[in-house]
Each structure stands twice: as C-alpha cells, then as structure tokens.
Structure 1
Amino acid sequence: MLPGERIAFDPIAGRRRLELPDGKRVAVWIIVNIEEWNPLETMPRTVLTPPAGGAPMPDIPNWAWHEYGNRVGFWRILDVFDDYRLPGNLAVNGCAIAAYPQIAEAAHSRGWEFIGHGFSQKNMQKVADEVEDIRLTTEAIQRFTGTRPRGWLGPGLTETWETPERLVAEGYDYVADWVLDDQPVVLKTRNGPLANVPYTQECNDVAMMLIQHHKASEYRDRAIDQFEQIRSDARHGARVMAMVLHPYIMGAPHRLRYFREAVAHIAGCPDAVFMTGSAILDWAKAQQG
C-alpha cells in the first residue's frame, strides 16, 4: 500500500479535542536507542574516515565510537532519568539484549518499556527475511522481559512496503516510524489497524549532531523551543512530543548536560507529563474512541 492509502490526510485543526489527565497538555516520551553494531559489516554510521577513504574491515574507530555509548554514555543518560524519575522507552535491537545485558536489566528493573528496533541495526529493506527479523526481535524482548513488545521502531525508521502488515501479524499495537503528526494516528493495513505514536526527526540527536552538525547546546535549545510551541498548540487539545537519544551521541561528556537541561525545563512545567509509548497509545485510544 502507498502511504496515502494507509492514512488519509487529516489536518489537526479540525479534530476532536483530546484531554490528558490532571489538566496536562503535553505528553512527553523519551526514547533511548540501544543497538549492536556488527564489526563484520559496514558500520551504520561513522565519525572518522580512514586516510585515503574506503571502508576498512575491521573498522575499529567507528565500532569503538558506538561502543563507548553503551559502556559509558548510557549510564550518564540513566542518571538523568533517575534524578527526575522519568519513565523510559528502550528501542532495542533484539541481539543487543544479549550483547548488553546490564543495560537491558537496568531498563527492565526501572519499568521501562521495551520497543522492537529490528534484530540488528540494519535497514529493514536489506534484511534477508523481514518476517523472521521481526519474530526474532519480538522473541528476544519477550524472553527477557516476560512481556511481548507492543511498539516497533524501524532501524533508521526504515520499513518495506509490507512492514505494517507484518507487525500487525506479529501482534504489535503501534509503530513510531511515521513522523507526520503531533497526536497518535491509525494506519490501515491488510491485517487490521496499526497505530502510530508520534516520534521525531527534529529533536533527535542523530539528525542534529551527525547530519546537521550542530553544537551540543542545540539539543537543549531545540527541545525547549519545540516543547513550548507544542505546549502553545495544546490549548486546542493535548499533543505528544518525543525526544530521541542515542548513548554514543548524547551520552558523550560534552553533550549530556544539554539533555539534562532540556529535561529540567520540561519537568518544571506543570503542563507536561512524561509517559511511555504504550501509555500514550492507551490514552489516545480511550480519547479517540
């Protein structure tokens, strides 16, 4: 199905008003992406190119750059979640649960929601068998947490033409790949409806730091500006805001403080409530009917 066949154009201005509990106006969810990069394959992203270019194998500098995030950066980020008692969302490669069990346990013990993020960090259009990839990811999360995941985030937001159908067939309730709204929406699939919970490409450290090459403070500035605009919009009905982190990026020592400062601003606003993706979905479904 083409995108326009899955979801009809529906401007936010004419919709039924949504209300969050306790008079809140903005539901904020923070997604931490945990990935395992295979040293036998080309690195998903790079910070350093070798002399004279090329694609070295092994690519130790870029593999290690990412590995630092899981060894060190994640734990800095976790301190912010603990200090502000925030609910977390772990978008995790299925293989990363076994590779980084201490991270998985830290998230699980705090009640974070686990979201399927592909079995490995690879474009879903390039995996050998997408159905098997989704199944393996689901089983890895269920085996570790005891609960089947409800949400899915494609690696790099990638999907095939059949991904939504395959997610519904595997029992998923929502996806976050369709960054096109500030409220949860419903996608049509041949296997039944699939919700989409608002994600972000703007308040996302990959886009800001690796693609747009902004200074570290841009994360704080953009998160606060985005929150304040969405908060203003929410006078017409509740909205959702996402913040996206990768430990190898925002967990770097020169960047972490700006994530903390953004959280401090939002947490200090009485109109904000931090939630998990599933909690946002359940709230929206109850409101939207």
Structure 2
Amino acid sequence: MNRNIGASVLKRVAYSSINSRPPLALPNSARVAVWTIVNVESWSPLGPMPRAVLPPPMGQALLPDIPNWAWHEYGMRVGFSRFLDVLGSRSLKATFAVNGTACSQYEEACLAAHRCGWEFMGHGYLQEPAHVTSDQMAAITSTIEAIAKITGAPPRGWESPGLTETDDTLDLLAEAGIEYVADWVLDEQPVSLETRSGRIVSVPYTVEINDVVISAVQQQASDEIYRRGRDHFDRLYLDGMKAPRIMAIAIHPYLTGVPHRIKYLEMLYDHIMSHEDVVMWTGAEILDWYRTQTRSG
C-alpha cells in the first residue's frame, strides 16, 4: 500500500469524539435533522452494470446486459414517480444526487425534481468509481454544468459514485466550488475536511439506511428499510437529547421505488414525522446550519 496516500487521508480530518467537541444546537432544541438522498444514475446496457439483480447466465458476462439494465430503467420509468408522490404528499424535499449524464438522459425526472424544490447534488458524470475516471476535474465540471443547466445554479454538494474518492478528489471538488461532500460516512454530525484550497464540510451520509446495502447487497426483506430505519432514528432521537444528530435516508428508484417496498418508506417517514423536535432538511440546509454553529465550515 502507498503509505503517503493513507497518511494524506488521515490529514483530512482530525479525530474528535462526539462527546468532547464543542456543542451544536439545532433550531428550537430539535434533536435530529433528517435528510433524504434520492440517487439517480445513468446506466448503459453496452457496458458492465454498476450492480446486478440477476447473475450472468452460466457465469458468463454478456453484453448488452438487457435484464440488469432494464431492472434499473424500471426505476426511472416507474419507481421515481412513487418517490415524487411519497415525498410530495408529506411536503418533504429531497437532496437529488444525480449523474451529470443523467441530466439529459432523464431530463423529465430532473425537471420534476427541480419543480418540487429538491436540492441537486453532483453524483459524478458517469456512474463509475473515481479511480477509473480518466479526468476527474473534467467530470466534476461537466456535472456541475449539467446540473446548472437544469436548475440555473451550480450544486453545492457532491456524492461520488459508490462513495469512491482518489487522494485528490476532495481538492478538486473544493477547487470547483463544491461546499460539502457525502462520501465520508464517519460521524453523526457534520465535520470539516481539509483541502489544499481550504475546508470542505462532510455532511453525514449513510451506508446503513441505504437501499443499495439493504436490498441489493444484503438482500434483506422488503420491510427492512422501515425496521432498521425506525430503530436507527429512535436511537438518534434518544441520543439527540445530549447532542444533535444527523440521519440520512439514501434511496434509489429501482430499489425502494418498487411496489413491495415503497410502503415501508412511507411508514418510516410517518414514524419519524410523528415525533416532535425533528427537522426534515436537505444537505445544503444542514451545511448552512453547521456553518452558523462553528467557524470550521
């Protein structure tokens, strides 16, 4: 392993226990801030799928991969509309993590998200790891431009595909004007990360209340997002009496947008929203709050 790379990662953020850092306070003494991240990606049937629901026949990868591409495409044709309904009926605004190429491929969905007032967040230009992207800065700037074409403004946040970063990804993002990232899943409060051009904020994302992990990787039962999400929230709500916490809910149209799972997302929101002292925010709102609390942002 290249020890310089590992050392550089550790230099990005200093260790800090949540019990020993300066106190933060949500508005009106709220305990938990919850943000939803809707991930929209562009998959090509001509290349390997980012993930698959069906294994290749006889162990032989075949292209085009119609069944696994269609699995994802179903989410954009049908599942995404369910997210619009579930969130809209509860007056909730998501953070919309979108590939730059998806802004044109799924322009109708992107425009719908914009009309709903969702916050747009960069999610890479293509759905591929940062480590295989030939020109990261070009991919970042192209994604920013694609989002600005839809919304009229550049995104403030960034979620790398698969949460992957190379040693210089944060530096490039900061230089491109990105203010916060969702890749560093290491805390229940925002933290500041060092870059060569100043600080960038890590807004807590999740690999636990995330339907890729729950449904595609672990292949849990359809109600797992509700059961796990409820238990996760209940503990944060309890701990939030001492120090406020951030909860992320990460969903994809082809996974949670299907008929046998969508009601469990509704149940999770209804459970959370039945509690007082909770704010339902976007990533940018969490960022702005954090900056009012500390000079570190």
TM-score of the two chains, using structure 1 as the length reference: 0.98
Stretch of structure 1 that moved more, 120-129 or 58-67: 120-129
In the TM superposition, residue 51 of structure 1 has moved relative to its aligned partner by: 2.2
In the TM superposition, residue 25 of structure 1 has moved relative to its aligned partner by: 1.1
Partner residue of 1:195 out of 193, 198, 201: 201
For the pair 1:186 / 2:183, whether they are aligned, the reply is no
In the TM superposition, residue 15 of structure 1 has moved relative to its aligned partner by: 1.6
Distance across 1 between alignment mates of 2:26 and 2:197:
30
Q: How does 1:141-152 map to 2 (within 5 A)?
A: 141-152=147-158
Partner of 1:247: 253
In the TM superposition, residue 161 of structure 1 has moved relative to its aligned partner by: 0.6
For structure 1, the 5+ residue unaligned runs are: none
Partner of 2:71: 65
> Does the 8 Å contact 1:7/1:186 carry over to 2?
yes
SS at match of 2:188: coil
SS at match of 2:247: strand
SS at match of 1:188: strand
In the TM superposition, residue 67 of structure 1 has moved relative to its aligned partner by: 0.2
For the pair 1:158 / 2:193, whether they are aligned, the reply is no
> Does the 8 Å contact 1:17/1:236 carry over to 2?
no
Stretch of structure 1 that moved more, 66-75 or 45-54: 45-54
- 1:23-46 deviation line (CA, Å, top 9, x unaligned): 211000000000010222101000
Partner residue of 1:46 out of 40, 52, 58: 52
Partner of 1:13: 19
Q: How does 1:181-260 map to 2 (within 5 A)?
A: 181-260=187-266
In the TM superposition, residue 262 of structure 1 has moved relative to its aligned partner by: 0.2
SS at match of 2:19: helix
> Does the 8 Å contact 1:198/1:241 carry over to 2?
yes
For structure 2, the 5+ residue unaligned runs are: none
> Does the 8 Å contact 2:158/2:180 carry over to 1?
yes
For the pair 1:113 / 2:119, whether they are aligned, the reply is yes
Partner of 1:92: 98
Partner of 1:132: 138
Partner of 2:291: 285
Aligned residues: CA RMSD: 0.9
In the TM superposition, residue 3 of structure 1 has moved relative to its aligned partner by: 2.1
Distance across 2 between alignment mates of 1:18 and 1:149:
25
Distance across 1 between alignment mates of 2:56 and 2:141:
37
One-letter amino acid matched to 2:270: A
Distance across 2 between alignment mates of 1:75 and 1:12:
38
Distance across 1 between alignment mates of 2:107 and 2:219:
32
> Does the 8 Å contact 2:28/2:277 carry over to 1?
no
Distance across 1 between alignment mates of 2:56 and 2:200:
43
Distance across 1 between alignment mates of 2:289 and 2:57:
52
> Does the 8 Å contact 1:134/1:167 carry over to 2?
yes
Aligned length: 289
